[in-house]
Amino acid sequence: MSSNHKKNEFHPIVGIDFGTTNSAIAYMHNKIPQILESANGERVIPSVLLIDLGDNVVVGRDALDSLVAMPGRTIAAVKRKMGSNNPIYVSGRDLLPQEVSALILKELKKSADDLFGEGEKEAVITVPAYFTDAQRRATKQARELAGFVVERIINEPTAAALAYGLNNLKKDGHILVYDLGGGTFDVSIVELMSGILEVKASTGNNFLGGEDFDWKLVDWLANKLINKHNIDPRGDIRAKALLKKEAEN
């Protein structure tokens, strides 16, 4: 498929889901969405960045595995910081949230480059419905820094409704969409009118998602160990990492 696409100069618009914990990139082929795989064969990569001891940028699973061992060189959950002008200090550098996001997104772009050839890629991107203008601008800038041409920004509840084919319903009306992700949660009222979906109202929490559930489980497990052995494992970064892994499983 790869060689045929390149030979025919097939350049579809890609869709990008940049999540708090994981990210993915996809395109439409014969009206069916196809998620592109990374060089490691992963269809979804952790949204984690590592600048290693050799000053190399590492993204994805390897960066996630280094999150505890090299906390000063690793960044996770940068989506929660989008729109902020406060730089993030990592490995001796000050990077803005959109710059960190761009480095992660470049890893997704490699998958598209491998399939369709190098160069700028037209993209549709999604954002939480409650994102402010500043957060949307930062999100767009991150995609452009990564080499994408942003054709459109879609609210995540609208994207979810489209994915479920709700725009094909024959009856107009209102739809309640819950969007619970790895780091954010929002609830939106989406209006369907003549096949057009529009977010009419939305609210959410930038700090409520699966990641927060995991840390609550870590606290619960730690308290069990404190009560039984009078030891708080959260004081040791390796023990804390093991607890986090158990919580995720």
Asked whether residue 132 is assigned to any structural domain, the reply reads yes
- Worst-scoring range by mean pLDDT, 4-8, 27-31, 91-95? 4-8
Q: Where are the beta strands (DSSP E) in the chain?
A: 14-18, 22-29, 32-35, 45-46, 48-51, 57-59, 74-76, 88-90, 93-95, 121-127, 148-155, 173-180, 185-193, 196-205
Pair 136, 219 in one domain: no
Asked whether residue 202 is assigned to any structural domain, the reply reads no
**φ, ψ for residue 185, nearest 5 deg:** -140, 130
Mean pLDDT of 206-224: 92
Asked whether residue 84 is assigned to any structural domain, the reply reads yes
Q: Is the distance from CB of 157 to CB of 178 less than 8 angstroms?
A: no
Mean pLDDT of 69-82: 89
The verdict on whether 248 is a catalytic residue reads no
CA dist 71 → 82, 104, 106 (Å): 20, 17, 22
Among the listed residues 81, 99, 109, 179, the single catalytic one is 179
Pair 115, 238 in one domain: no
For the chain, what is the radius of gyration of the CA atoms?
20
- CA distance linking residue 247 with residue 235, whole number of Å: 17
pLDDT given at position 1:
46
pLDDT band at 3 (very low <50, low <70, confident <90, very high): very low
Instruction: Find, among 66, 93, 88, the residue nearest to 78 by Cα.
Output: 88
Asked whether residue 21 is assigned to any structural domain, the reply reads yes
pLDDT given at position 10:
62
Q: Is the distance from CB of 210 to CB of 48 less than 8 angstroms?
A: no
Pair 152, 219 in one domain: no
- Percentages of the chain per state (helix, strand, coil), in multiples of 5: 40, 30, 30
Mean pLDDT of 144-168: 89
Pair 127, 240 in one domain: no
Asked whether residue 244 is assigned to any structural domain, the reply reads yes
Asked whether the predicted pLDDT for residue 2 surpasses 80, the reply is no
The verdict on whether 156 is a catalytic residue reads yes
The verdict on whether 179 is a catalytic residue reads yes
Strands 22-29 and 74-76: unpaired
Total domains in the fold of the chain: 2
Asked whether residue 223 is assigned to any structural domain, the reply reads yes
pLDDT given at position 9:
61
Pair 150, 56 in one domain: yes
Q: Which of 163, 187, 220 represents a domain boundary (last residue)?
A: 163
pLDDT given at position 11:
78
Pair 78, 156 in one domain: yes
* pLDDT greater at residue 231 or residue 167: 231
Mean pLDDT of 103-127: 94
pLDDT band at 184 (very low <50, low <70, confident <90, very high): confident
* SS3 at position 164: coil
Mean pLDDT of 75-94: 93
* pLDDT greater at residue 240 or residue 78: 78
**Domain coverage including residue 64:** 2-163
* pLDDT greater at residue 203 or residue 47: 47
User: Which DSSP letter does residue 36 get?
Assistant: P
Among the listed residues 156, 186, 211, 214, the single catalytic one is 156
The verdict on whether 17 is a catalytic residue reads yes
- Worst-scoring range by mean pLDDT, 23-27, 123-127, 132-136, 238-242? 238-242
Mean pLDDT of 127-154: 94
Asked whether the predicted pLDDT for residue 133 surpasses 80, the reply is yes
